[in-house]
Amino acid sequence: MRRLLAFVIAALALCTCSREPTVIKFGSVSPLTGPQAEMGQDLANGQRLAVEEANARGGVLGKTLELVVMDDMADPKEAVSAANKLVSDPGVVAVVGHLNSGATIPASTIYNAAGVCMITPAATNPKVTQQGFRSVFRACITDAVQGPIATDFAIDTLGTSSMCVLHDKTAYGQGLAEQFRDRALERGVDVLMFEGIIEGDRDFSAVLTRIKALAPDLIYFGGMYPEGGLLVKQARNLGVEAVFMTGDGCYNPEFMEIGGPESEGAIVSFLAPPWEDQPQAAEFVARFKQRFGQPVKTYAPFGYDCVNILIAAIDRTGKADKASIIEAMREPGFRHDGVIGRTEFDEHGDTKNVILYFYVVKEGRLVPYGS
Amino acid sequence: VFLQQLINGLTLGGIYALIALGYTLIFGVIKLINFAQGEMSMVGAFSALAVLALLAPAAGPFPLLAAFICSLALAGLVGIAVERIAFRPVRAAPPLAALITSLGVSIFLQNVVMVGVGSDNKSFASVFASGYVTLGGARVTYLQGAILLLAVGLMVSLDVLINRTRFGRSVKATAENRDLAMLMGINISRATVLTFVVAAGLGAAAGVMFGLYYGVAKYDMGFLPGIKGFTAAILGGMGNIRGAMFGGVALGLMEAMAAGYISADYKDVFAFGILILVLVFRPQGFLGEKLSEE
């Protein structure tokens, strides 16, 4: 009896082995719960839409595309455990993720060791692609690019000649703030203060009081919207009149929600154009809204394009195995035209598509600067 | 600038003091630390948020007052539940058991709120009149002024409650000696429950102030202020009511001065560094530790 059972199991195993898999799996990791859930959900929805559309077109290489969605809670520990789960599934050939640099950097080590292609839609810390990992790609610009462009904007367009720079001590926030500061020093602008605040803290009045006494033209903050919103609110309540400027981490309706009327006039740089005004994105914005019943918030178009970039890589070689996807994307001629524009990768796996837009808070909404 | 830092620190200190009072009262009466105390402020902030949302169209001070009273009442009920569920069943057990059950309650409350209302920041609408008065170059917003007044008011009433009323005497007697108090005909169970209610109410008041002041509420918002309140209570002497008031204000001022004159990077390093120094050199706190001897 036992022998018979063993035989049946062996036969079944052989069966599944010999049959060609009928699905292609992509991993998808972003913070679906936790403080950054809103952005993570937006990102994941963009990916879901791309997968659904690909399947509606008849799949990839005639196979059904499946998105294995995981949650990293923006936490490096969770990110690593999600990455380990994904690479242990032999069916997962590539991963779109993660959102935060702090989560992406440790997770990328695991994907690279397993030879699984990882493309991050939103992690901007330069380090992500500077580890010499062949399987790591990025669809957004880095802080090394964002910081200096933002500095130039502050100096040339806003006429800033002195500034205080704050950051939240995370890989993202501090990295961005350092790039911003370094460029400012290079251009001979006074940096009166460079200091970290504590992520999750609510009271910044002490450091802001000090800034008030320094009376800079501009306060730059490298960090996310929960702290950014509170900073701008408390600064205004203390009577600080400096321009408040921050990066993509504050490009979120919550920034104005938390900052309240005090956030008026704050400048936010972001990696993408106003989606509604872009002819190539208009259709996507409409489809997204119809499918999920809510508007595109921030990173959905990046999530959408990342999935389509992976599909383009598979279509290019006609092979859906892990190594072929990486090789296809590493080829110099590889390019993809999508909602975020044309994506091409340099030798580090970084996009050559340099886009940075400036927004200003007007009547509680982020509108393009100068419009 | 110094005056502004002073006002920043006092506002923060007032909030810490209210949380510290909760720790100290409970410690005084049952000699145990209730780590769910920080969550009382979270519960308070969220119930205030709910009431404010319900009464959104109404103008004037009424919604704010209603929100405040409701959050105190709700936190009071939660306080009773905490005493019943986490402390009474393990009263005979070693103190570690109650410490762990109270930590459990803290995690439970956080997760109930996280699952119930979500894990993102919820914003308070600006219900409080914005505006400020200038005092010698420093700005005091109306809200800061209200927080300071309310905190002082609550502390004074607590002092009166403990030192001048029958309830206060029963609490002090229970703190002094449980068995003797019982023999003298004091209902120590009732005194203990009422202490939990008062402690929860103070925590909730701190939570509402915290929420209004910073404009946001989040499921884990009670954790850090809870730890700070605990620090403040130790600073003043665990079990000492005036000590908790002193400790809270001192901690708020220290944080503001450290962040204001040294570096914001080291704000918490200072707060907790002081805690370690106090524990090493004056473990009974600055003002000693007896609730009963006041």
Ordered mean pLDDT values, 10 residues apiece, chain B (294 residues): 88 93 91 90 93 78 87 94 90 87 92 85 75 83 90 93 90 88 88 93 94 88 91 89 92 89 83 87 77 50
The rounded mean pLDDT for chain A is 90
User: Which whole-number Å values give the CA distances from B288 to B93, B237, B274, B284, in the listed order?
Assistant: 27, 5, 17, 5
Q: Give the integer Cα–Cα distance in Å for B153 and B159.
A: 10
Partners of B118 on chain A (C-beta within 8 Å) are 37
Chain A residues inside the 8 Å CB shell of B254: none
DSSP chain B: -HHHHHHHHHHHHHHHHHHHHHHHHHHHHHS---TTHHHHHHHHHHHHHHHHHHTTT--SSHHHHHHHHHHHHHHHHHHHHHIIIIIGGGTTS-HHHHHHHHHHHHHHHHHHHHHHH-SS-EEPP--SPP-EEEETTEEEEHHHHHHHHHHHHHHHHHHHHHHHSHHHHHHHHHHH-HHHHHHTT--HHHHHHHHHHHHHHHHHHHHHHHHHHHSEE-TTTTHHHHHHHHHHHHHH-TT-HHHHHHHHHHHHHHHHHIIIII-GGGHHHHHHHHHHHHHHH-TT-TT-S-STT-
pLDDT of residue B294: 46
Question: Does the distance separating the beta carbons of B214 and A230 come in below 8 Å?
Answer: yes
Average pLDDT over residues A149-154: 95
CB-nearest to A38 from B120, B221, B264 is B120
Give the mutation candidate from A202, A208, A227 for the B interface (greatest B CB count, under 10 A). Answer: A202
Residue B132: its chain A contacts at CB < 8 A?
237, 239
pTM for this model (two decimals): 0.78
Nearest to B8 among A38, A198, A206 (CB): A206
Q: Give the tens place of pLDDT for each residue, A212-244.
A: 999 999 999 999 999 999 999 999 999 999 999
CA B291 to chain A, closest CA, distance in angstroms equals 31
Considering only alpha carbons, which residue of chain A is nearest residue B127? A260
Query: Is ipTM over 0.85?
Result: no
Cα dist. A268→A301, A318, A357, B106 in Å? Answer: 19, 42, 8, 37
- Residue B263 has its nearest CB partner, among A33, A195, A237, at A195
A12: pLDDT strictly greater than 60: no
